Amino acid sequence: MAEKYKEFSAFYVFYLTEHSNKTCRQLHFLGSSLVIMCIAIFIITGQAVYLLAAPVCGYGFAWLGHFVFEKNRPASFKQPLFSFMGDWVMYWQLLSGKIGFSQQDDVHKA
């Protein structure tokens, strides 16, 4: 990613191309779901360890997807805020069915 995006909408188009591998998307979804679960458990129990576990789960699964399956470098290294926002937009689009978990190229229509 040589270009630094100034608007999220332009960045998100790029972001989706960096997540065309189905396993990478599935790992992102799993990691984000675990983040939500960690935060919920923290709210319920007050145990700070769950707040520490949240980014480990989120980034751990996402980076595994990028380095092992997508074979690219996560956008969070270059534009962390837009990448974080993209994670949650993609999560919602996966959850709502706008983009799929299994097709390799359906992210381009989102």
**Predicted model pTM:** 0.87
Mean pLDDT of the chain: 91
Query: Does some domain include residue 64?
Result: yes
Range with lowest mean pLDDT among 2-6, 33-37, 94-98: 2-6
Query: Does some domain include residue 13?
Result: no
Tell me which residue range forms the domain holding 42: 21-99
Distance of CA 83 to the CA centre of its chain: 8
Query: Does some domain include residue 107?
Result: no
| Residue carrying structure tokens 């790992």 | 27
Give per-residue pLDDT as tens, 45-75. Answer: 999 999 999 999 999 999 999 999 999 998 8
Is residue 62 within 8 Å of 31, Cβ to Cβ? yes
CA angle 39, 101, 82 (to 5 degrees): 55
Query: Does some domain include residue 89?
Result: yes
CA dihedral 30, 36, 38, 40 (to 10 degrees): -150
Give per-residue pLDDT as tens, 73-96. Answer: 988 888 999 999 999 999 999 999
Query: Does some domain include residue 106?
Result: no
Distance of CA 3 to the CA centre of its chain: 20
Residue 24's pLDDT is what?
94
Is residue 109 within 8 Å of 17, Cβ to Cβ? no
